[in-house]
C-alpha cells in the first residue's frame, strides 16, 4: 500500500487475461503486442527486449507507446492525473513498467528533463514500484 496523503483513491486497472495467457504460453512479445495493441505490458516488454539488445532509441519508442496506452487505460479506469497506482495490483504493472522503461530509455538518450518528470510520476504512482521493477530485471 502506498502513502496516500492526497486522499485520492487508488487506481486499479482490470485484468487482461488474453495478454497474461499469451505471455504465459510463451507467445513472442511482438505477437502479443500485435494481438493486443492496447496492452501497456506488451509494449513495456518490447521496450525491455530492445534495451537488452542495446537499442535505446527503439526501447524509447516502445516504452512511449506503452506509456500512452497506459495513460488511456488509467483514464478509462477513473484516474484523473494523480493518485496511487499500486504495484501490488498486478494489472497495474504494465503501466508502471512502461514508465520505468521510458525513464530508463530517456536517460539512455540524454533526455534529462523527461527522466526527472518520469521519476516523479513513477514515485508518485507507487514509491516501491521502481525498486520492484529493477529487482525483477536483475
In the chain (138 residues long), the average pLDDT of successive 10-residue segments reads 66 97 98 98 98 98 98 97 96 98 98 97 97 93
Q: Residue 8: its pLDDT value, please? A: 87
Cβ within 8 Å of residue 43, ≥6 positions away: 33, 62, 63, 65, 66, 69, 94, 98
Please give the C-alpha separations between residue 114 and each of 2, 100, 108, in angstroms, as whole numbers: 24, 12, 11
- Work out whether the CA dihedral 52, 64, 135, 131 comes out positive or negative: positive
Q: Residue 1: its pLDDT value, please? A: 44
Q: Domain total for the chain? A: 1
Name the pTM for this structure: 0.93
Q: Does residue 67 lie in a domain region?
A: yes
Is 87 in contact with 132 (CB distance < 8 Å)? Answer: yes
Rg (CA), the chain: 14
- Work out whether the CA dihedral 137, 88, 16, 18 comes out positive or negative: positive
Q: Does residue 112 lie in a domain region?
A: yes
Q: Does residue 19 lie in a domain region?
A: no
Taking only the tens place, the pLDDT of each residue in 95-119 is 999 999 999 999 999 999 999 999 9
Query: In whole angstroms, what is the distance from residue 75 CA to residue 62 CA?
Result: 20
Q: Residue 138: its pLDDT value, please? A: 81
Q: Residue 6: its pLDDT value, please? A: 57
Q: Does residue 13 lie in a domain region?
A: no
Q: Residue 106: its pLDDT value, please? A: 98
Q: Does residue 21 lie in a domain region?
A: no
For residue 27, the SS3 value is coil
Q: Does residue 57 lie in a domain region?
A: yes
Q: Which domain holds residue 123?
A: 29-136
Query: In whole angstroms, what is the distance from residue 86 CA to residue 132 CA?
Result: 12
Amino acid at each position: 500500500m502506498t502513502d496516500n496523503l492526497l486522499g485520492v483513491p487508488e487506481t486499479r486497472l482490470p485484468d487482461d487475461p488474453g495478454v497474461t495467457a499469451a505471455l504465459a504460453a510463451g507467445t513472442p512479445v511482438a505477437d502479443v503486442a500485435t494481438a493486443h495493441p492496447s496492452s501497456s505490458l506488451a509494449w513495456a516488454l518490447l521496450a525491455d527486449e530492445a534495451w537488452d539488445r542495446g537499442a535505446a532509441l527503439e526501447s524509447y519508442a516502445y516504452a512511449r507507446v506503452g506509456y500512452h496506452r497506459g495513460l488511456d487505460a488509467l483514464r478509462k479506469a477513473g484516474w484523473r492525473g494523480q493518485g496511487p497506482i499500486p504495484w501490488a495490483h498486478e494489472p497495474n504493472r504494465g503501466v508502471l513498467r512502461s514508465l520505468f522503461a521510458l525513464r530508463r530509455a530517456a536517460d539512455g538518450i540524454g533526455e534529462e528533463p523527461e527522466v526527472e518528470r518520469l521519476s516523479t510520476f513513477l514515485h508518485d504512482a507507487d514509491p516501491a514500484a521502481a525498486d520492484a521493477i529493477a529487482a525483477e530485471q536483475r
